[in-house]
Amino acid sequence: MGKKLTGLTERGVAAIENLSIHPVILLLYFSLLISLRACVEQLLFEKEFSIYQFTHHFFFASITLMGGMLIISLIGKIGLKQVSQIVAVGSFLMILPPIIDRFIFLRQTNYEYLRPSELIRNFMTYFLSTEKAGKGIHLEITLILLLSGFYVLFKSRSLWRSVATALSLYVLVAIVSTPRLYLPLPSLKETSLFESRHIIYLLFYFVAATLLGTIFLWRLNRNFPRALFQALSSFRTLHFLLMVGIGVFFNPALGLFRIPDSIYFMIATIVMIFLWLATLLVNDVYDLKIDTISNPQRPLVSGLISPVEYLNLGFCLFLLALYASLVLGVISYVIALMIVFSGVCYSVPPLRIRNRMFHNLFIGWGSVLAFLFGYFIQADISHLSLSGEVMMLVLLIFLALSAGSVTKDLKDYEGDRQSGVKTIFTVCGLKKGMLISSVLLSLSLLTPLLLFHRLLDFFVLGLIALIIPILFAKFKQLPIAFLGYGIAFVYCVFKHFILG
């Protein structure tokens, strides 16, 4: 009987581990369960629904799940993919605690995080003496520890690994549930801090989930972190973050040096990094033929990472960015959706605007979206408006980045030519393309004259617009164009803040 039960268990575990669930489906599944748990909790405990509490609980649960899976994988010496699929089967347990507490133990108050002093006092007694967790959560944690310990014992046939897994998971849950143990917050008795506590926790758990997610990816494929760092290490990343920052600067609803406005800005920055990185990953997959010729050093070309892995991660990052942007307001969320849609249209067939002659207009459009993403954070949708100055700035960004981005096509000339991509260089030839791109670069560097019209502005910007294109045409190096934009930007900032 015992052998039959063991054999049945082995076959059941092996069947689950070999399911090969698509990573995006797995992420959607976990996200749905976590979201459902947050909704049930807020509904049953008679508390007004809060999008800030909802989203910060999502990332709290995310780091608990990822941390738990990493612990099981590392201590049990089990593949992370197999662990994630086993965990997915038992994840429905997370929905049960609020239902048990509300209808069996008649709890009406919401769950609370622990204070550091409470952690130390209750750690050795399984937190049974505190009412902050709830008996339903105690039952949930007990089941998780037992099932995880049994799974590791079953896979490794090692009792000490099983016990070490259960103890490590217990420590993880206790520490993650005590954010002020490692989050240096002043006293929450201050009204502004107390009212902003959920957005502060959200930022912390969002950052922690990002760092833990990087470790998670490293365990799946050790080349992932290096590939992501390489993808982000470019002037274009700084450019899109700068667009968000300029948008926030002109945002009438935010003050950068007060809480929670500074928190919104930091969340928006991380969201933009996610959106931009996802766009890069998806684009690199469909640019593989071009990059094989023009950028052979990229991880995708060298085979360190597969196109399927790039696509999976890209769409997962899109989903996580959209989830986090919920707290930034309806308008910023809609703009984030537009960024995702634009990124897909730019890179993915059958539309694939990247292959068309005037795809640079889409780069100007993307820059405008990044600016508006920052500008509309926490904006009141009932008073949606753009001042004349902001409208002129939007026009400047679109014109400058649409015209100036033509220069970026130079580095992909050979790959574009062999792949049939239409650019100024492949259609007009390299020599004439250099002339046209240099003229467009010069015009783009003159666009700040839409905002500044004095004699000094004409002289300085005119000098930049003359020298930089000449240098670009002579040396054919893209960083020269970026240098020109940097000098023009510094001058505009100096002009705005110093000269007035």
CA distances from 117 to 120, 126, 244, 379 (A): 5, 15, 40, 39
Average pLDDT for residues 396-413, to the nearest whole number?
Answer: 90
pLDDT of residue 194: 58
pLDDT of residue 1: 55
Taking a C-beta distance cutoff of 8 angstroms, is the pair 98, 140 a contact?
no
Provide long-range contacts, Cβ within 8 A and 24+ apart, for 157-166.
Answer: 161/75, 161/76, 161/77, 164/75, 165/71, 165/72, 165/75, 165/76
Tell whether the model's pLDDT for residue 191 goes beyond 60.
no
Tell whether the model's pLDDT for residue 9 goes beyond 80.
no
pLDDT digits 0-9 by tens, 58-81: 999 999 999 999 999 999 999 999
Tell whether the model's pLDDT for residue 103 goes beyond 60.
yes
Interatomic CA distance for residues 322 and 145, integer angstroms: 32
Tell whether the model's pLDDT for residue 213 goes beyond 90.
yes
Helices 430-446, 455-475: inter-axial angle, 10-degree rounding: 160
Supply the mean pLDDT for the chain: 88
For residues 171 and 5, the model is more confident at 171
pLDDT digits 0-9 by tens, 112-170: 888 888 888 888 888 888 888 889 999 999 999 999 999 999 899 899 999 999 999 99
Taking a C-beta distance cutoff of 8 angstroms, is the pair 294, 300 a contact?
no
Split at pLDDT 50, 70, 90, the class of 3 is low
Average pLDDT for residues 75-89, to the nearest whole number?
Answer: 92
pLDDT digits 0-9 by tens, 273-306: 999 999 999 999 999 999 999 888 888 888 888 9
For residues 498 and 60, the model is more confident at 60
Split at pLDDT 50, 70, 90, the class of 95 is very high
For the chain, the distance separating the N- and C-terminal CA atoms, rounded to the nearest angstrom, is 86
**Type and span of the H or E element at 196:** none
